[in-house]
Amino acid sequence: MTNDLPVVSVTELVTAMKEVIETALPPCIVEAELSNCRRSAAGHWYLTLKDAGSEIPATIWRNVAQRLQFQPQDGMKVLATGALEVYVQGGKCQFIINRLLPQGVGALELAFRQLKEKLEAEGLFDPERRRPLPAIPRRIALVTSPTGAAVRDMIQVITRRWPPADLVIVPVRVQGDGAAEDVVRALAMVHRIPDVDVAIVGRGGGSLEDLWCFNTEAVARAIVACKVPVISAVGHEIDVSISDLVADRRALTPSEAGELVVPSATELREKLRQNAERLRVGMQARIEKFRLRLAALEARSVLQKPENLINQRRQDCDLLGDRMQRTISLLVERHKASLAALTASLDALSPLKVLLRGYSLTQTEAGTIVHSAEQVQPGQILITRLHHGQLRSRVEG
C-alpha cells in the first residue's frame, strides 16, 4: 500500500500543536471555579480551572503569585486572565494565568477575610494576649508618616493632655509600595530607642487600597512581636484593619490614640485633689473615732479610781482562799471516813478479836503455830497466847 502521509516525531507533533494552539487562541479571560489548588516550594501555584462541562490545568508562576493579594482556594469563583500554553516535554496543554480576580467580592476584601481567619485561628486576636499600656509613659514612639495630618493630630492631643510628654517620631511610608516593609522595620527597632515604652502606629483615613499596608500579614506579625505595647490608630472609626485587631489597644482615630496613651494632666490633678480630700475626711473620721474611744476609756472607773481595782482583786483573793479552805476541810473529812471504814474492816479480821471470844493461840518457842498434837514432843516447851497475857507450859504427854 502506498502511504503519502508524512512521518514526524512525537516532539515535532507536540511542537506543531503548541504553535497552532498558542497562535490560534489569543490571551483571554476565563470564568471558572478553582480546584486542586497547590503551591509549590518554589512559590508557583498549580490548580485546575473547571466548570460544569470541562476542566483544564492552570499555573500561576511565582512572579505573578507574589502580586496576588489573596490565596487561591478550592471552590473559589474567579476570573482568570491568561493564555493557553503547551508543555512540549509532557505533551500537555495548560492555561498560564497572569492575573486572577475573585468573583462576588473584591480581591482586597477577600485577602482581608482570609488573613483575618488565619490570624484568629492562631489566637492573635485573643484579649488575654494584649499587654496593658503604661499609666504614664516615659517616651512615646509615633510610627507614622512625618508629613501627614495624623502625626500633627497626635502631637497636638498628647501635648495638650500631658505637656511634659516626650515624643519621638519614627518616619515610615503609610501607603504604596514599600510601606508595609517600612512599618515592619520600624516596629522591629522601636524598643531600641532609649526610654520608649509604648508605640502608636497608624495613619489618617483613606480608601481600602490606601490603608492596605496595615492589613498585611507582615505588619500584623510585627505588631505582635514588638517588645513594647502597640496602639493601632488606622483611618476613621468605620475603618477596621488587621493591625487594629492584633494591637494591644485599638484607637478609632489617631486623635483618640493620643487620648489613650497619656493621662489628662487636668483630670489627674482633679483626681489627686479628690483623693487628698477623701484622705483628709477619712483621717478626721478616724481621729474622731479614736478620740471618742479614748474619752470612753478615761471615763471608766478603773482609771478614775485605780485603787478600786486593787481592792476588788483583794476581795477575789479572799473569796478564793475561803473556797480553798472549805474544799481542803471537805477532802480531809472524806479521807478520815474512808480510813475509819478500812480500820474497822481490818480490825474485824484481826486474830486478837478471835482471842477475845475465849480462843487461844499455841506456839513453839521458835514461834511455829501448833495446829496438831503430832507437831510437839514430850518435854517440849509451848507458849499459849490468851486475850490477856500468855502461858508457858511443858508437854508431859
> CATH number of the domain that 26 lies in?
2.40.50.140
- Please indicate, yes or no, whether residues 236 and 143 belong to a single structural domain of this protein: yes
Q: What is the pLDDT of residue 156?
A: 94
Summarised one tens digit per residue, pLDDT across range 148-187 is 899 999 999 999 999 999 999 999 999 988 999 999 999 9
- Please indicate, yes or no, whether residues 207 and 255 belong to a single structural domain of this protein: yes
pLDDT over 80 at 360, yes or no? no
Q: What is the pLDDT of residue 366?
A: 81
Based on the structure, what is the number of domains in the chain?
4
pLDDT over 90 at 73, yes or no? no
Helix (H, G, I), strand (E, B) or coil at 336: helix
- Please indicate, yes or no, whether residues 148 and 89 belong to a single structural domain of this protein: no
- pTM, two decimals, is 0.55
What does DSSP say about strands 230-234 and 196-203: parallel, antiparallel, or unpaired?
parallel
Q: What is the pLDDT of residue 353?
A: 67
Residue 42 lies in a domain: yes
SS (H, E, C) 360-393: CEEEECCCCECCCHHHCCCCCEEEEECCCCEEEE
Residue 317 lies in a domain: no
Q: What is the pLDDT of residue 247?
A: 95
pLDDT over 80 at 38, yes or no? yes
Residue 277 lies in a domain: yes
- Please indicate, yes or no, whether residues 290 and 251 belong to a single structural domain of this protein: no
Q: How many CB atoms lie within 10 A of CB 373?
A: 8
Q: Which residue has the higher pLDDT, 52 or 127?
A: 127
Q: What is the pLDDT of residue 287?
A: 92
- Please indicate, yes or no, whether residues 239 and 276 belong to a single structural domain of this protein: no
Q: How many CB atoms lie within 10 A of CB 170?
A: 21
- Please indicate, yes or no, whether residues 192 and 83 belong to a single structural domain of this protein: no
- Please indicate, yes or no, whether residues 76 and 171 belong to a single structural domain of this protein: no
Q: Which residue has the higher pLDDT, 214 or 207?
A: 214
Helix (H, G, I), strand (E, B) or coil at 350: coil
* Placement of cell 500584623 in the chain: 220
Query: Distance between CA 363 and CA 307 in Å, rounded?
Result: 78
Sheet holding 230-234, edge to edge: 167-171, 139-144, 196-203, 230-234, 249-250
- Please indicate, yes or no, whether residues 358 and 276 belong to a single structural domain of this protein: no
Residue 334 lies in a domain: no
Q: What is the pLDDT of residue 354?
A: 66
Cell reading at 135: 499609666
Residue 253 lies in a domain: yes
Q: What is the pLDDT of residue 104?
A: 66
Summarised one tens digit per residue, pLDDT across range 76-89 is 888 889 888 888 78
Cβ 198 vs Cβ 231: under 8 Å: yes
Q: What is the pLDDT of residue 106?
A: 63
Q: Which residue has the higher pLDDT, 108 or 78?
A: 78
Burial class (CB in 10 A: 0-12, 13-18, 19+), 213: buried
Residue 173 lies in a domain: yes
Query: Distance between CA 322 and CA 43 in Å, rounded?
Result: 108
Q: Which sign does the torsion angle of CA 343, 349, 351, 357 carry?
A: positive
Helix (H, G, I), strand (E, B) or coil at 35: strand
**Nearest Cα residue to 75 out of 106, 97, 104, 117:** 104
Cβ 308 vs Cβ 302: under 8 Å: yes
Give the CATH number for residue 188.
Answer: 3.40.50.960
- Please indicate, yes or no, whether residues 275 and 252 belong to a single structural domain of this protein: no
Share the mean pLDDT of the chain.
87
pLDDT over 60 at 1, yes or no? no
Q: What is the pLDDT of residue 140?
A: 96
**Nearest Cα residue to 187 out of 142, 222, 135, 160:** 222
Band of pLDDT at residue 358, cut at 50, 70 and 90: low
Least-confidence region, from 127-141, 263-277, 373-387: 373-387
- Please indicate, yes or no, whether residues 258 and 278 belong to a single structural domain of this protein: no
Query: Distance between CA 361 and CA 387 in Å, rounded?
Result: 9
- Please indicate, yes or no, whether residues 251 and 290 belong to a single structural domain of this protein: no
Residue 343 lies in a domain: no
Tell me the residue length of the chain. 397
Q: How many CB atoms lie within 10 A of CB 216?
A: 21
Q: What is the pLDDT of residue 192?
A: 93
**Nearest Cα residue to 58 out of 71, 47, 66:** 47
Rg (C-alpha) for the chain, rounded Å, is 57
- Please indicate, yes or no, whether residues 280 and 254 belong to a single structural domain of this protein: no
Q: Give the residue numbers spanning the domain of 287.
A: 271-296
Residue 62 lies in a domain: yes
